[in-house]
Amino acid sequence: MAENSFFTDKVALVTGSSRGIGRAIALAFAGAGADVVVNHSKPDGASKRKADEVCREIEELGRKALAVPADIASKASVGEMVEAVSSWRGRLDFLVLNAAKAPFKPIEKLLEREIRQLVETNYMGNIFCIQKSLPLLEAAGGRIVFISSLGSRFYNPSYPLGSMKAAMEAVVRDCTESLAERGVFANGVCGGIVKTDSFKTLRQYMEELEHIPDELCVSPQALAEVVVFLCSPAARGIRGQTVVVDNGLSNRLYRPAWVRKPKS
């Protein structure tokens, strides 16, 4: 993402940015000129190592970075994360709700603890992040961007997360209205197939994903650039929307393009 003076000295908090799409979003904000808070789930092990690595990459771009471990499913933990952001830079301009964790199995097979984890991380956790960040976002005239997926609108037998994504897209619409008078606006980015760690796991449950050609997958960077765009003044007229970024995959679902190739 090209540097843009609008982002200089501003602060982005990206939940779940130790790897995958979140990492790309964190780096895109840094590329645009913002300082970044890299949230990850655990205070040690691979989670911390990867978050520290992302912070180093951000610093190499000439920006400041702070790694903050916090499980977004815990309201107390989210509160501590936002306090850490406040003591670090005293401001928060952009909140990106990217972190997600869910089992890949049909709804009817979900155990009670899996249902609770699904809702606590992917719905309640995002709402805790919005609630706790609101005073800082309001002071900055901030923006919220939620990362959704095609599961919010299309059936996928092993993807109960889709129902949480659909609920959160409704929260985006709700928030952009209810927070407008406080100067805070929300939008979403709905990603197609992105070959991250979670994709590798989902692929084990859905063989058909193997057959989706590379040109119908989308890169983490392509999603990240739209997130940064939605936080920029150029997107000031977009409110409460979830923008699909999927390299055209959903537009072709009626007629699987990987089965019938168009004549060249």
Ligand X SMILES: NC(=O)c1ccc[n+]([C@@H]2O[C@H](COP(=O)([O-])OP(=O)(O)OC[C@H]3O[C@@H](n4cnc5c(N)ncnc54)[C@H](OP(=O)(O)O)[C@@H]3O)[C@@H](O)[C@H]2O)c1
Residues within the interface to ligand X (CB under 6 A): 15-22, 39-42, 47, 50, 71-73, 98-101, 121, 147, 149, 191, 193-194, 196-199
CA angle 129, 178, 17 (to 5 degrees): 25
Active site residue 10: no
Contacts from 172-181 at CB under 8 Å and sequence distance 24+? 172/144, 172/146, 172/240, 172/241, 172/242, 173/240, 175/130, 175/144, 175/240, 176/239, 176/240, 177/240, 179/134, 179/138, 180/239
Residue 128 burial by CB count (10 A; 0-12/13-18/19+): exposed, middle or buried? Answer: buried
Minimum Å distance from CB 247 to ligand X? 11
Which lies closer to ligand X via its Cβ, residue 53 or residue 138? 53
- List, in sequence order, the alpha helices (H) in the chain: 20-32, 45-60, 75-89, 112-119, 125-140, 161-178, 197-205, 220-230
- Determine the Cα–Cα distance for residues 53 and 22; give it in Å rounded to an integer: 13
Tell me how long the chain is.
264
3-state secondary structure of 147: strand
- Determine the Cα–Cα distance for residues 196 and 110; give it in Å rounded to an integer: 23
Which lies closer to ligand X via its Cβ, residue 32 or residue 227? 227
Which lies closer to ligand X via its Cβ, residue 6 or residue 199? 199
Active site residue 159: yes
Minimum Å distance from CB 109 to ligand X? 20
Minimum Å distance from CB 233 to ligand X? 25
Which lies closer to ligand X via its Cβ, residue 139 or residue 257? 257
Which lies closer to ligand X via its Cβ, residue 77 or residue 176? 77
Catalytic hit among 10, 155, 159, 254? 159
Backbone angles phi, psi at 160, to 5 degrees: -65, -20
Start-to-end Cα distance in the chain:
33
Catalytic hit among 48, 132, 165, 195? 165
Minimum Å distance from CB 130 to ligand X? 15
Minimum Å distance from CB 255 to ligand X? 22
Longest dimension (CA), the chain: 59
Residues noted as catalytic: 159, 165
